[in-house]
A and B are shown apart, each in its own frame.
Chain A
Amino acid sequence: MTAPISRREWLLTEQPASRRQARLGQTYRTWLALRANRLAMFGLFIIMALVLISVFAPLLVRYDPLTGGDLRTGRLLPPSWDHPMGTDDLARDIYSRVIYGSRLTLMVVALVAVIATPIGLAVGTTAGYLGGWVDNVLMRVTDIFLAFPRLILALAFVSALGPGIENAIIAIAITSWPPYARLARAETLTIREADFINAIRLQGASSARILWGHITPLCLSSVIVRVTLDMAGIILTAAGLGFLGLGAQPPQPEWGAMVATGRRFIIDQWWVATMPGIAIFLVSLGFNLLGDGLRDVLDPKAADSHNEP
C-alpha cells in the first residue's frame, strides 16, 4: 500500500499512470509557471472580470443602455454619483452602455475565434499533409491574404457586405485565419512523417481520416494558443471598424462606435469618448498581458518572434 498522495503530488508526478494524468500534470505545470508571472495574472484578472461583467450586466446597472433619459435635462452630464461615467448626447448613461458593451466585445472575440480557427486548421493541415501542388496553391492563397494589412482588408469586405456587427465579425474572421493556417501547416510538416502516422496509413486509413482524426487534434493546442494571443488584435480591429461606423450600428453600445460619437464633443464633454476608450484599452491590455505570459511559459524560445503588429 502506498501512502495517499496529495492532489498536487499526483499532478506533478514524474511517472504519470495514465494519459489523462500526464495531460493534467502538464496543464498544472503551465499554470504554476504562469501564476508566477504577476503581469499575466493581472491580465487574467481583467479577462475574468470582463466575462463576469458581461454575464451579470443587468445586475450592475441602473439604467437601460439603449433608451436615454430626459433629453432636456439629461444630455451630456458630467460624471457624477448618479452617472459614474456621465451621459451621452442622447441622455443615455455611459456607464450602463460600457457595461453592456462588454457583451458585444466578448461576442466578437468568441465568434471570430470560432470561425477563423477551423478555417486556418483545415487549410494548414491539408496543405501540410498533402504537400505538392495542393500545398503550393493553398499557401499562395494564404500569402495573398497576408499581403493586405488586416484592418484594410476587413474594411474592404465590410464595405461590400454592408456595415453591421455580423458583417464586421465575418470580415475580421476572413482576415485572421492565414497565420493559423501557416502555424498548422508547420506543425503538420513535423507530424506527417512520424511513425504513428505511417502506422495508421499502413492500416489503410484514408487521408481525410488521418487529417481529422490524428493530425488536427495535435495541431489544435498550438493554434488555440495563437488565437488567444491574437485576441487583443481582434478587439482593436473590431473597435476600429466600430469607430469608422462599419461595425455595430446605433443604438448598440459598441465601444468603438461610442468613441466615435464622443468625437464630436471631445473638447467640452471629454467623458463621452474617454470612458469607452478606457474599456477597449483595458480589455486589450488584459489579453496582451495574458498572451505575453502564456507565450513565455509555453514557448520560451519563440517568445519574441510571434508578436507582429
Chain B
Amino acid sequence: MAGTFLQQTEGRYGALPTWFWKGTKLIATIAVTILGLLLITFFISHVIPVDPVLAVVGDRASQSTYDKMFIEMGLDKPLWQQFFFYVEKVLSGNLGNSFLTKKPVFDDLARAFPATLELATVSILIGTLVGIPLGVLSAVKSGTLTDQIVRVIGLIGYSVPIFWLGLLGLLVFYAKLSWISGPGRIDIEFEYNVTRTTGLLLIDSAMQGQWDAFRNVVSHITLPASLLGYYSLAYISRMTRSFMQTELAQEYIITARVKGVPEWRIIWVHALRNAAVPLVTVIALSYAGLLEGSVLTETVFAWPGLGLYLTNSLQVADMNAVLGGTLLIGVIFIALNLLSDLLYTLLDPRVRRRVGQR
C-alpha cells in the first residue's frame, strides 16, 4: 500500500522531488499512528469505565468536585466532540493532574523518564556486549554443544519471569552476600549531593566528580540492569546467530578463506560487519522491548522511573497518570521502531540504493 501511494503521487505531481513526498508520507504515517494511540487511550478513559468521572476523581470525591470534573471532561458533549477535546488537550501537553501526586502528569513523567532511560541504556549495553559474542560463537560452532548451551541460555532468558528473578537477585546479592546496594537508584546520603542536570545519575555524578556517589549509583544499577540486559540478550544472541549463519554461508567468506585470511578476521571483521546492519534494527527493537520489562523490574527494585510511576498509579486507579504513562511509552515505542527503520535504510547500501532509485 505504501508503494502504490508513492507511485501515484509521483505520477501526478512529478515536479516535486521524491524526498518531499517521502517525508510527507512519513509524517502522515506518524500522525495517523499517534492519533490511533490517542484513540485507544481515549477509549480506555472515556468509553470503557462505567463512570469516567469516578475513574478520575475516585469514589471519595465530593459532589462539587464530581460535577466540576464532569464538565471539565466534557461528558455532556457527544463522543466525537469529547475525542476532539481530548486530542487538543493532549497535544498541548496537558495530560491532566495526577490523583496521587497532585501534580500535572506531564511533569511527573518528565521527572521519571531519565531514570528509565538510564536503566534501559545500561541494560541494552550489557545485552549487546554479551549477546553479540554469544550469538557469533553459537553461529560459528553451529550444531555443537556450545551452540545448544547458548540456545538454552537464551530460552531461559525468554522464559523466566523477570520480577521473580529480580526478587531472587535481591535476596542473594543484597540480603545474603551484600555485594550490591538494595532497591532504589541512589542512597539517601548522596541523594541531594548530586545536582541533576541530565537526570542520568551516572553522568551527573561523574561530571561533578563525586566518585563516591558514582560508585553508589553503579552498585544500585548493576542488578536491575543485568536482569534486563539478560532479557534483551536472549533476543540479540538469537538474531546474531541467525544473521551470522547467513553471512558465513556466503561466497565471499569462501573467497576470504581461500585467500588465507585468518579465521578470526573472517568471523569478527568480514562476516560480523555485514551482519551488523540488520543487528542495529534488532538492538533498537530490543531497546523498545525493555520498556515493557522495565515496568516489572522497576516495581521490584523501587526504581523511580516510568514503570514504577505507572504501577503506583495503577494501585490507586489514577487514570490520568496511567494513560499519560501509557501514551508516553507508546510514543517512545513508535519512535524507536521508526529509528530502527531509518537506521536500516541508512546503513544498508542495497536498501539505500533501492530507495534512491525509486
Identify the closest chain A residue to B160 (Cβ). Answer: A281
Verify B330–A160 contact, CB threshold 8 A: no
Within 8 A of A (CB), among B285-317: 285-286, 288-289, 291-292, 295-296, 299-300, 310-311, 314-315, 317
Main SS of the interface on chain A?
helix
Question: Cβ of B163 < 8 Å from any Cβ of A?
Answer: yes
Given A140-B32, A147-B37, A160-B44, A153-B160 contact (CB < 8 Å): no
- How many whole Å from A17's CB to the nearest CB in chain B? 38
The answer to whether B334 and A152 touch across the interface, beta carbons within 8 angstroms, is: no
With A304-B241, A308-B289 known to touch, is A288 a contact of B155 (CB < 8 Å)? Answer: yes
B167 & A273 in contact (Cβ 8 Å cutoff):
yes
Q: How far is the CB of A1 from chain B (nearest CB, A)?
A: 46
Given A140-B32, A149-B333, A266-B171: A304 in contact with B55 (beta carbons within 8 A):
no
Which residue in A148, A153, A160, A289 is a CB contact (below 8 Å) of B55? Answer: A160
- Does A147 lie within 8 Å of B163, measured CB to CB? no
B161–A284 touching, CB < 8 Å: yes
Is the C-beta of B156 less than 8 angstroms from some C-beta in chain A?
A: yes
Given the contacts A141-B36, A273-B167, A147 and B44 also touching, CB distance less than 8 Å: no
- CB atoms of B168 and A277 under 8 A apart: yes
CA distance A239 to B159 in the complex (A): 12
- B1: A residues at CB distance < 8 A: 135-136, 139
Asked if A223 is at the interface (CB within 8 A of a chain B CB), the reply is: no
Residue A236 CB within 8 A of the other chain? yes
Q: Which residues between 27 and 58 of chain B lie within 8 Å of chain A, taking CB atoms? A: 32-33, 36-37, 39-41, 44-45, 48-49, 55
When each residue 129-149 of chain A gets 1 if its CB lies under 8 Å from chain B and 0 otherwise, what string results?
Answer: 000000110011101110111
Does B113 make an interface contact (CB < 8 A)? no
The reply to whether A281 and B164 contact each other, CB–CB distance below 8 Å, is yes
**CB–CB B152/A39 < 8 A:** yes
A152-B48 contact, Cβ under 8 Å, with A256-B161, A277-B164: no
Decide: A156 near B238, CB < 8 A? Known: A232-B158, A232-B159: no
A149 touches B164 (CB 8 A): no
B232 is an interface residue with CB less than 8 A from chain A: yes
B152 touches A266 (CB 8 A): no
Q: Mark A273-301, 1 if CB is under 8 A from B, else 0.
A: 11001001100110111001000000000
Q: Which of A143, A152, A155, A284 contacts B33 (CB 8 A)?
A: A143
A43 (CB) vs chain B CBs: closest residue: B155
Q: Min CB distance, A135 to chain B, in Å?
A: 7
Taking a contact as CB atoms under 8 Å apart, the answer to whether A305 and B295 are in contact is: no
Stretch from A5-13, A24-32, A212-220, A243-251 forming part of the interface with B: A243-251
A157 interface residue (CB < 8 Å to B): yes
How many whole Å from B3's CB to the nearest CB in chain A? 13
In contact, A280 and B315 (Cβ under 8 angstroms) = no
Task: Tally inter-chain residue pairs, CB-CB below 8 A.
Answer: 164
Most buried by B among A139, A152, A246, A289: A152
Contact pick for B310, options A145, A155, A240, A277, CB 8 Å: A155
Are B159's CB and A243's CB within 8 A?
no
Q: Find out whether the CB atom of A151 lies under 8 angstroms from the CB atom of B242.
A: no
Closest A residue by C-beta to B152? A39
Question: Is the beta-carbon distance between B326 and A243 smaller than 8 angstroms?
Answer: no
Point out which of B148, B159, B232, B299 has the most chain A C-beta atoms below 10 A from its C-beta: B159
Say whether B37 contacts A150, CB under 8 Å.
Answer: no
For B322, list chain A residues within 8 Å (CB): 155-156, 159
Provide the residues of chain A in CB contact with B36, threshold 8 Å.
140-141, 143-144, 147
Closest to B43 in A: A160
Residues of B within 8 A of A245 (CB): 314-315
B235 touches A285 (CB 8 A): no
B44 and A157 form a contact (CB under 8 A): yes
Q: B323: CB under 8 A from chain A?
A: yes
A148-B329 in contact (CB<8A): yes
Q: Does A36 contact B (CB under 8 A)?
A: no
B155→A289 contact, CB < 8 A:
yes
Contact present for B231 and A309 (CB under 8 Å): yes
Measured CA separation A136–B333 after assembly (Å): 21
Q: A170 CA to B165 CA in the complex, in Å?
A: 27
**In the complex, are the beta carbons of B159 and A288 less than 8 A apart?**
yes
CA of A153 to CA of B333 in the docked complex: distance in angstroms? 12
**Which chain B residues border A151 with CB–CB below 8 Å?**
292, 295-296
The 4 tightest CB contacts between A and B, nearest first, are: A144-B36, A304-B242, A277-B164, A149-B292
30 contacts between A and B (CB under 8 A): A39-B152, A140-B32, A140-B33, A144-B39, A147-B333, A147-B334, A148-B333, A149-B291, A152-B326, A155-B311, A159-B317, A160-B48, A161-B48, A236-B161, A243-B163, A243-B299, A244-B296, A244-B314, A266-B167, A266-B171, A267-B171, A274-B164, A277-B167, A280-B164, A285-B155, A288-B159, A304-B238, A307-B158, A307-B238, A309-B231
B residues near A, CB below 8 A?
1, 32-33, 36-37, 39-41, 44-45, 48-49, 55, 148, 151-152, 155-156, 158-161, 163-165, 167-168, 170-171, 175, 231-232, 234-235, 238-239, 241-242, 285-286, 288-289, 291-292, 295-296, 299-300, 310-311, 314-315, 317, 319, 322-323, 326, 329-330, 333-334, 337
Given contacts A140-B32, A240-B296, A285-B155, 12 further A-B contacts (CB under 8 A): A39-B151, A144-B37, A147-B36, A148-B329, A149-B333, A151-B296, A152-B295, A155-B311, A159-B44, A280-B161, A304-B239, A304-B241
